[in-house]
Amino acid sequence: MGDRTGQRFGGYTVGAHIADGSMGAVYEGRHDESGERVAIKVLHSRVARDAVAAERFRREYETAKSLQNPYIIEVRDFGETDDGADFMTMELLEGEELSLILAREGGLRPARTVRMLCQLALALHHAHADGVVHRDLKPDNIFVCSRPGGDEIRVLDFGSVKLQMETGPKLTMLGTILGSPYYMSPEQARGELDVDPRSDVFAQTSIMYELATGDVAFAADTIPDILNKIIGEEPPPVRIANTAYPWSFEDVVMKGLRKEKRERFGSSLELGEAMLSAFGLEPELERWARTPIEAIETAILSSAEEVPEPPSPPAFASSAPPELPTRDRRATVLAAGVLLAVLTALGAWLLLRP
């Protein structure tokens, strides 16, 4: 994985190395004519020799290029280096992957979650409307930029996409599981090929769960155990980890994680709107995606005062037997009983005397 800093290709000069991934390396770069700063992603040499990997990389570029949305990474150019490796250029972002934020901070406060999830719902809705299913949605593929009003996300890595009107070559073998195991839908975990936007809805909900709790919804030590949990188990309740989230949020999460896709929300928009309603907010995704976090927090608190939480379960009723009488009390009761018997007998005698 040689360092390409200082190389020139495709009208760009490669600058500092930013990051490495399994497929390629990312560098800061600059366009030679315009001077625009960009990110340059270059396939590793060993990956570039793999025809399937190279095609996935090209598809990632073509898909992202077609999806013009403020919450999806913007790509610029595609080309080949002097030694035959494919590269693409993208907008240069300052921030970090959502996975790093969750690892450092754990569960987030509701207002921050609301803003990010609204942006994610809008990004996915845009992709799905263009017939694109991401199939590998995860915190590693969500880049978070800091803005004056709060977080602003970009969805990354469309190399695993499924096109609803598939025209290009198939990039996976029959039965191959494609995607990150923690965020796979049950149908992906079973290796099914019938994947549609509701698989992304499942992953979207898994991320929603993790934003609230700081924990992966279906955690296990091995891939088979992870997949078995996804297919057959439910995650622990959100409120065990974070009581700042209302019970209504729990209901939304449970529906989004249904094992049968026909029982989930039908779209990313439906999930996003249900999430807003759970906090008592108007289901206006565009509005809350741009609203400053502090204003969202104020709106959530105001709504919580107007719509109280469901009542707590009734107090446990004791089944202890009644208190047994003491010795003195037993004596008093006995004396009263004798007196009553005497009075009754005396009354009967007076009535019956001639």
Report helix, strand or coil for 9.
strand
Residue 179 has what pLDDT?
53
Domain co-membership, 54 together with 123: no
pLDDT higher than threshold 80 for residue 17: yes
DSSP 279: T
Residue 306 has what pLDDT?
64
**Tens-place pLDDT, residues 45-95:** 888 888 888 888 888 899 889 999 999 999 999 999 988 899 999 999 999
Domain co-membership, 208 together with 181: yes
Residue 302 neighbours by CB under 8 Å, 6+ apart: none
* Among 5, 7, 81, residue whose Cα is nearest residue 47: 81
Cα 136 versus chain centre, distance: 13
Domain co-membership, 222 together with 265: yes
Instruction: Let me know if residue 339 belongs to a domain.
Output: no
Q: Are 155 and 123 in contact (CB under 8 A)?
A: yes
pLDDT higher than threshold 50 for residue 331: no
pLDDT higher than threshold 50 for residue 319: no
Domain co-membership, 235 together with 221: yes
Domain co-membership, 99 together with 204: yes
Copy the structure tokens of residue 263: 């029982």
Mean of the pLDDT values across residues 296-319?
A: 64
Q: Which band of pLDDT confidence, cut at 50, 70 and 90, is reported for residue 317?
A: very low
Using CB atoms within 10 A of its CB, is residue 224 exposed (0-12), middle (13-18) or buried (19+)? exposed
Helix (H) or strand (E) holding 184: none
Predicted TM-score of the model (pTM):
0.81
Mean of the pLDDT values across residues 322-345?
A: 44
Residue 162 has what pLDDT?
58
Copy the structure tokens of residue 213: 């709790």
pLDDT higher than threshold 80 for residue 161: no
Instruction: For 42-71, give one letter per residue: b (16+ CB within 10 A) or e.
Output: bbbeebbeeeebbbbbbbbbbbbeebebeb
Q: For the chain, report the end-to-end CA distance as a whole number of angstroms.
A: 127
Domain co-membership, 14 together with 100: no
Q: What's the number of domains the chain is made of?
A: 2
The 3-state secondary structure of 74-109 reads CEEEEEECCCCCEEEEEECCCEEEHHHHHHHHCCCC
Copy the structure tokens of residue 292: 């400053």
Helix ranges restricted to H, the chain = 45-48, 51-66, 98-105, 110-129, 186-189, 197-213, 223-232, 238-241, 247-256, 268-278, 285-290, 293-306, 327-352
- Give 154's strand partners: 143
- Give 19's strand partners: 26
Copy the structure tokens of residue 343: 């009075």
Q: Which band of pLDDT confidence, cut at 50, 70 and 90, is reported for residue 1?
A: low
Instruction: Let me know if residue 327 belongs to a domain.
Output: no
Report helix, strand or coil for 256.
helix
Copy the structure tokens of residue 139: 């915190």
Q: How far apart are CA 189 and CA 324, in angstroms?
A: 62
Q: Are 92 and 121 in contact (CB under 8 A)?
A: no
Domain co-membership, 256 together with 123: yes
* Among 27, 66, 67, 29, residue whose Cα is nearest residue 43: 27
Residues involved in catalysis: 136
- CATH number reported for the structural domain that contains residue 13 in this entry: 3.30.200.20
Domain that holds residue 189: 95-166+174-306
Domain co-membership, 138 together with 252: yes
Domain co-membership, 86 together with 147: no
- CATH number reported for the structural domain that contains residue 231 in this entry: 1.10.510.10
Domain co-membership, 149 together with 253: yes
* Among 119, 12, 169, residue whose Cα is nearest residue 76: 12
